[in-house]
Structure 1
């Protein structure tokens, strides 16, 4: 997989507020959630876009299989 690398600062801007894109990171990969109805306005329940959600997933009512529906667009560097 030859993906671009973005920093945490670049990821943080893709929160649906500062920039229109809604991105989240999980296990070193960045996913574009802009088209997901569950991420309207950059918020998904108590989680905000533009962040690395790896450590938060154990508290979610779903498994990491949810990421299989989305294609990684970049790596978190």
Structure 2
């Protein structure tokens, strides 16, 4: 699996590059084609970052990630 730094993830925020990515539990997911992530935002959440800690406040479970394409691994 390809590895990406937090800085590389941050560039996939829907503004700097065409791709829109998010990370959860060390895995990076592509949400570029999701209508829920249009322009790199999803409600009060921003793409291009690790959303692991924010999921506890979400109205859904981590099962939503099963529908997304995995891009790679987030390295710290």
TM range (shorter): over 0.9
Q: TM-score, normalised on structure 2?
A: 0.96
Deviation string, structure 1 residues 20-69 (Cα, Å, up to 9, x no partner) = 11000000000000000000000000000000000000000000000010
For structure 2, list consecutive stretches of 5 or more residues without a partner in the other structure. none
Computed over aligned residues only, the root mean square deviation of the Cα atoms, in angstroms, reads 0.5
Other structure's SS at 1:21 match: coil
Q: How does 1:35-74 map to 2 (within 5 A)?
A: 35-74=33-72
Q: TM-score, normalised on structure 1?
A: 0.95
1:26 maps to which of 20, 24, 27: 24
Q: Tell me the matched-pair count.
A: 75
Deviation >4 Å, runs of 4+: none
For structure 1, list consecutive stretches of 5 or more residues without a partner in the other structure. none
